[in-house]
Chain A
Amino acid sequence: MWEAIHDNVRRSRLLIGFMGALLVGLGALFGMAYAGADGAVAGAIAALALWLILWLVATAGGEQVVLMSARARQIRKEDSPRLWNVVEEMTIASGLGTLPKIYIIDDEMPNAFATGRKPENGCVAVTSGLLRRLNRDELQGVIAHEIAHIKNLDVRFMTIAAVMVGSIVMIADIFLRSMWFGGGRRSGGKGGQGQVIVLVLALGGAILAPIFAQILYFACSRKREFLADASAARFTRFPEGLASALEKISGNLGNSRKQALRSLAPMYIINPLQAARSSAGLFSTHPVTQRRVAILRAMGGNAGWVDYERAYKKVTGSPEACLGQKTLASEKSVSARAASPEAGTKQDAVARAREVTDLIDRLAEFLLIGCVCGVRIKVPPNFDRESVRCPKCGRTHDVPRAEQDAQADKPDAAEQGPSTEPLRYRRQGRGWESFKCSCGKVQQLSPAFEVRAITCRKCHRKIEIAGP
């Protein structure tokens, strides 16, 4: 855990240092364009002064400004015991130390955000729409993600970066305007040609630097979101919770664009202004939701840093690392837990109905394949391809088949024509399983079925069943 923060801090410093150098460099350049070589130092100082003013303004307001503008109201435990308890649980799991202040926003649009530059001053806000829609596991995932932002010092980092970018944009703007309106003072004829070059560089810088800084800022924001997702998976030990919560949230955000505040957008769990996007542009604060969900679901039965990194590489195909070196070196794979039991008649009734329809499908010779994401894929009996994709998460599954015994090089194999050797099928667990015989007929094995071999009803071939 501390490795992750350490990596973060190191990357933050690098980035801030780079942007700071860019800021000072631009200041110096603009100063030079104005007043020759003497202006460089003055320009740099002016840039830093601007940054300082912006920084003071940004930090003076504190978290209260953000929360008030979102119309968040702080709650006590009695107002929403479940939310309070979940936040406490995640505080313990993350090792945050101090319980963050908890706020509810009365809004049907499901969303959540966290603020607080220091872990002691953390605040978590959740909309009432979110509370209504998510079950306990999903709520845990969302809260874990938000607390991860606080713990990884993301808010502090993004504030600093935002102020940097703001300063760069501002001085570039000021410079361009002054060039436009006044031509600027040129001090004497000191180095006419050199001055022109400086002017060209300054103009180029004024146009490109803001764009470049913003791209950098948004790229950082997206990276931080992945890290927060990885942290949430690790705290809850249940990536599927966050994955299904993200799905639920992103499916609901279409209508409320007007209500979302632009300045707050990066801090929400999903940027409400960009929710419907299918690809993350250069200027998106969050990665595409589908991608985040796919990575979380590709983690297999695991929940650790290395598992997230592996899933990230697999889903995005990106060669560069998502999490820091120290983080990845700090531990090996960590296994996930099972879903927590759902208390409620509705879920039980649904589960029972599913069992009944599954049974009916099996009788109708459908082949059922269980996917890790929870979906049971029902393959019709006349399906003749070798593999099938899960409609929910996209994983590919091979259609289970009974295998030939690997003794094809028996001397009299050729004489027997189409082989009558017994087939073998290895069970993968103790529950219901279906597989195909070589003739194409679907065989069903029930949990209670403990016989060593069965006979295919169609081709009368013997199939041996081996244990899991």
Chain B
Amino acid sequence: MTPIVLFLLAIVAAVVVVAVWAVGIYNGLVRLRNQVKNAWSQIDVQLKRRHDLIPNLVETVKGYAGHEKQTLENVTQARTRAVSATGVEAQGQAEGELSSALGRLMVVVEQYPDLKANQNFLALQEELTSTENRIGFSRQHYNDEVMTYNTRIQSFPQNIIAGMFSFVKEAFFEIQDEKAREVPKVQF
């Protein structure tokens, strides 16, 4: 084997090694990006779950607190707006308003001891608390994934591959309205 051949072989070997390493990094980045997307859709799932719970809640409350029409109407309308909102900002806004409307409904509910003792209502209460928690946690998880992904595409040596294949930073899910994070408080 002449030195030139050896040299060429060494270069080929080096190129192969770099290529394999680059493919590994690329795959890792793709996986992370998909995880971010997955986490985003999780938020949607939990928000929809809340939308589905609300009609049942309104019906139960109506049975006991019929003349709180205004509050119930607000909740129903807020829900309709939230369901039909499109785009991240509009959605965030509508969901925040829905959370506020639910909070006010819970305040009103306090004055009806029969309702508060109703088994159906208590079960719904638990579901509502859980749903609010889940929405919060899915946002938290999404932000965690975004943090991991952003850190990864910015650190060396992954940023080279990221730049080459245009992996861009994802945005965190900020909460515009602090109230949107609150679990509707219930004092029994």
Closest B residue, CB atoms, query A237? B140
> Which of A2, A88, A343 contacts B130 (CB under 8 A)?
A88
CA distance in complex: A340, B184 (Å): 11
Asked if A92 is an interface residue, CB under 8 A from chain B, the answer is yes
Asked if A95 is an interface residue, CB under 8 A from chain B, the answer is yes
Q: Does A95 lie within 8 Å of B145, measured CB to CB? A: yes
Q: Does A93 lie within 8 Å of B35, measured CB to CB? A: no
CA distance in complex: A85, B46 (Å): 12
Asked if B174 is an interface residue, CB under 8 A from chain A, the answer is no
CB-defined contacts of B183 to chain A, threshold 8 Å: 340-341
Q: A89-B137, A92-B141 are in contact. Are A330 and B186 (CB under 8 A)?
A: no
Q: Does A95 lie within 8 Å of B185, measured CB to CB? A: no
Q: Which of B97-146 contact A (CB under 8 A)?
A: 123, 125-127, 129-130, 133-134, 137-138, 140-141, 144-145
CA distance in complex: A385, B42 (Å): 54
Q: Does A93 lie within 8 Å of B141, measured CB to CB? A: yes
B115 smallest CB distance to A (angstroms): 14
> Which of B32, B39, B133 contacts A89 (CB under 8 A)?
B133
Q: Does A343 lie within 8 Å of B188, measured CB to CB? A: yes
CB-defined contacts of B127 to chain A, threshold 8 Å: 81, 85
CB-defined contacts of B187 to chain A, threshold 8 Å: 343, 348
Q: Does B145 lie within 8 Å of A341, measured CB to CB? A: no
Asked if A345 is an interface residue, CB under 8 A from chain B, the answer is yes
> Which of B32, B137, B147, B148 contacts A93 (CB under 8 A)?
B137
Q: Does B148 lie within 8 Å of A1, measured CB to CB? A: yes
Closest B residue, CB atoms, query A86? B130
Q: Does A92 lie within 8 Å of B42, measured CB to CB? A: yes
Q: Which of A284-334 contact B (CB under 8 A)?
A: 330-331
Q: A81-B123, A92-B46, A95-B35 are in contact. Are A345 and B188 (CB under 8 A)?
A: yes
CA distance in complex: A89, B138 (Å): 8
Q: A2-B148, A331-B151, A341-B185 are in contact. Are A95 and B130 (CB under 8 A)?
A: no
In the complex, per-residue mask of B39-63: 1 if CB is within 8 Å of any chain A CB, else 0: 1001000100000000000000000
CB-defined contacts of B46 to chain A, threshold 8 Å: 92
B155 smallest CB distance to A (angstroms): 9
Most chain B CB atoms below 10 A, which of A89, A237, A344: A89
> Which of B42, B126, B133, B151 contacts A330 (CB under 8 A)?
B151
> Which of A95, A237, A343, A344 contacts B39 (CB under 8 A)?
A95
Q: Which of A329-361 contact B (CB under 8 A)?
A: 330-331, 340-341, 343-345, 348
Q: Does B126 lie within 8 Å of A95, measured CB to CB? A: no
A157 smallest CB distance to B (angstroms): 22
Q: Does B140 lie within 8 Å of A93, measured CB to CB? A: yes
Q: A85-B130, A340-B183 are in contact. Are A92 and B148 (CB under 8 A)?
A: no
Asked if A82 is an interface residue, CB under 8 A from chain B, the answer is yes
Interface residues of B, count at CB 8 A = 27
Asked if A247 is an interface residue, CB under 8 A from chain B, the answer is no
Closest B residue, CB atoms, query A234? B144
Most chain B CB atoms below 10 A, which of A1, A82, A343: A343
CB-defined contacts of B147 to chain A, threshold 8 Å: 330-331
Q: Does A95 lie within 8 Å of B141, measured CB to CB? A: yes
CA distance in complex: A89, B127 (Å): 12
Q: Does A89 lie within 8 Å of B130, measured CB to CB? A: yes
CA distance in complex: A235, B133 (Å): 12
Most chain B CB atoms below 10 A, which of A81, A92, A235, A237: A92
Q: Does A95 lie within 8 Å of B123, measured CB to CB? A: no
Q: Does A82 lie within 8 Å of B137, measured CB to CB? A: no
Closest B residue, CB atoms, query A88? B134
CB-defined contacts of A235 to chain B, threshold 8 Å: 137
Closest B residue, CB atoms, query A346? B188
CB-defined contacts of B126 to chain A, threshold 8 Å: 81-82, 85
Most chain A CB atoms below 10 A, which of B42, B140, B145: B140
Most chain A CB atoms below 10 A, which of B42, B134, B138: B134
CA distance in complex: A438, B167 (Å): 62
Q: Does B188 lie within 8 Å of A344, measured CB to CB? A: yes
Q: Does B186 lie within 8 Å of A343, measured CB to CB? A: yes
Closest B residue, CB atoms, query A140? B133
CB-defined contacts of B125 to chain A, threshold 8 Å: 343
Asked if A3 is an interface residue, CB under 8 A from chain B, the answer is yes
B96 smallest CB distance to A (angstroms): 18
CA distance in complex: A329, B25 (Å): 18
CA distance in complex: A340, B42 (Å): 22
Q: Does A95 lie within 8 Å of B144, measured CB to CB? A: yes
Closest B residue, CB atoms, query A341? B185
B34 smallest CB distance to A (angstroms): 12
CA distance in complex: A94, B145 (Å): 10
CB-defined contacts of A82 to chain B, threshold 8 Å: 126
Closest A residue, CB atoms, query B35? A95
In the complex, per-residue mask of B74-97: 1 if CB is within 8 Å of any chain A CB, else 0: 000000000000000000000000
Q: Which of A68-105 contact B (CB under 8 A)?
A: 81-82, 85-86, 88-90, 92-95
Extra inter-chain contacts (12) besides given A93-B141, A341-B183, CB under 8 Å: A2-B148, A81-B126, A81-B127, A82-B126, A89-B130, A92-B42, A95-B39, A340-B183, A343-B125, A343-B187, A344-B188, A348-B188
15 contacts between A and B (CB under 8 A): A81-B123, A81-B127, A85-B130, A88-B134, A92-B42, A93-B137, A95-B35, A95-B145, A237-B140, A330-B151, A340-B183, A341-B183, A341-B185, A345-B188, A348-B187
